[in-house]
């Protein structure tokens, strides 16, 4: 469906400026949260295929997209999303998050369950046993990668995307390229272990944990999904076959069907 979008910006309490795109509509407000080195723009293809004239917000996380720079880390992202929800003053929110965005959504559900009616968590990085040295090495590598993207041309990044992700639809490459040119080195601070089990225990929001195939690059295994649904009392898990970590790109139709199903499902 065709949607009209407008750009918005707000400043959160620590002074960071956050950018979002919004397509106003009816029903609950769907806030989409992206993963590391992506931006809200990666969700536009999904949002425009959802049924109905939904109220949709595509948020750029701090240090990503058109948002400003600021101190990274899980707690700051959670606080940012809470600030966005409160600023928008919407009566009902559905959070859809991918990767680190899914981890952020879970943090919001644990801290402020009164603000969210449903969370859809796409392959969050529920890491465990990550040492400080490993984390620091991953952050250094991420900063170096971001630096290499910043000196690349769009043409070079398009070629890189097609080589690394040949199974993606051509429509997914432009947002990927744009987000790589925009990401700040400080985004690497988001890499690290978060106590997801504690968050799951504290979460009093309906949650759907979505996972793919581990052998295709998925982060959430069947065992992790089972453990999560034991801990988060209002949760269930759904596997989308034939995809790994980037399920909204690797199995677009399967991801869209799942989200459309959640949209139409009656909620208490």
Split the chain (268 residues) into runs of 10 and give each run's mean pLDDT.
84 97 93 98 95 92 97 96 96 96 98 97 86 84 93 96 96 98 95 93 97 96 96 97 96 96 78
Its pTM stands at 0.96
Task: Give residue 187's pLDDT.
Answer: 95
Residues linked to residue 73 through DSSP beta bridges, in sequence order: none
Task: Indicate the Cα dihedral angle 246, 252, 254, 260, nearest 10°.
Answer: 110
**Which is nearest to 205 in space by CA: 124, 122, 85, 111?**
111
CA distance 64 to 36: 8
Kind plus residue range of the DSSP H or E element containing 55: strand 54-59
The interaxial angle of helices 173-182 and 132-150, nearest 10 deg, is 100
């Amino acid at each position: 469906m065709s949607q009209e979008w407008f750009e918005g910006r707000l400043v959160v309490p620590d002074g960071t400026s956050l950018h979002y795109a919004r397509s106003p509509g009816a029903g609950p407000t769907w806030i989409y949260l992206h993963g590391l080195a992506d931006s809200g723009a990666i969700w536009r293809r999904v949002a425009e295929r959802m049924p109905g004239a939904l109220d949709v917000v595509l948020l750029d996380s701090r240090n990503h997209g058109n948002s400003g720079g600021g101190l990274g880390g899980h707690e700051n992202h959670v606080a940012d999303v809470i600030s966005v929800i409160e600023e928008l003053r919407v009566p009902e929110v559905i959070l859809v998050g991918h990767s680190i965005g899914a981890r952020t959504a879970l943090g919001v559900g644990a801290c402020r369950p009164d603000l969210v009616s449903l969370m859809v968590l796409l392959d969050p990085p529920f890491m465990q046993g990550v040492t400080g040295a490993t984390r620091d090495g991953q952050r250094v590598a991420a900063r170096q990668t971001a630096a290499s993207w910043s000196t690349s041309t769009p043409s070079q990044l398009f070629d890189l995307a097609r080589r690394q992700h040949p199974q993606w639809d051509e429509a997914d490459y432009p947002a990927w390229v744009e987000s790589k040119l925009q990401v700040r080195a400080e985004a690497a601070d988001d890499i690290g272990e978060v106590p997801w089990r504690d968050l799951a225990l504290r979460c009093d929001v309906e949650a759907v944990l979505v996972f793919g195939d581990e052998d295709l690059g998925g982060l959430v295994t069947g065992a992790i999904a089972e453990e999560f649904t034991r801990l988060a009392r209002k949760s269930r898990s759904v596997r989308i076959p034939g995809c790994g970590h980037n399920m909204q790109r690797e199995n677009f139709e399967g991801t869209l069907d799942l989200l459309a199903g959640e949209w139409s499902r009656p909620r208490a």
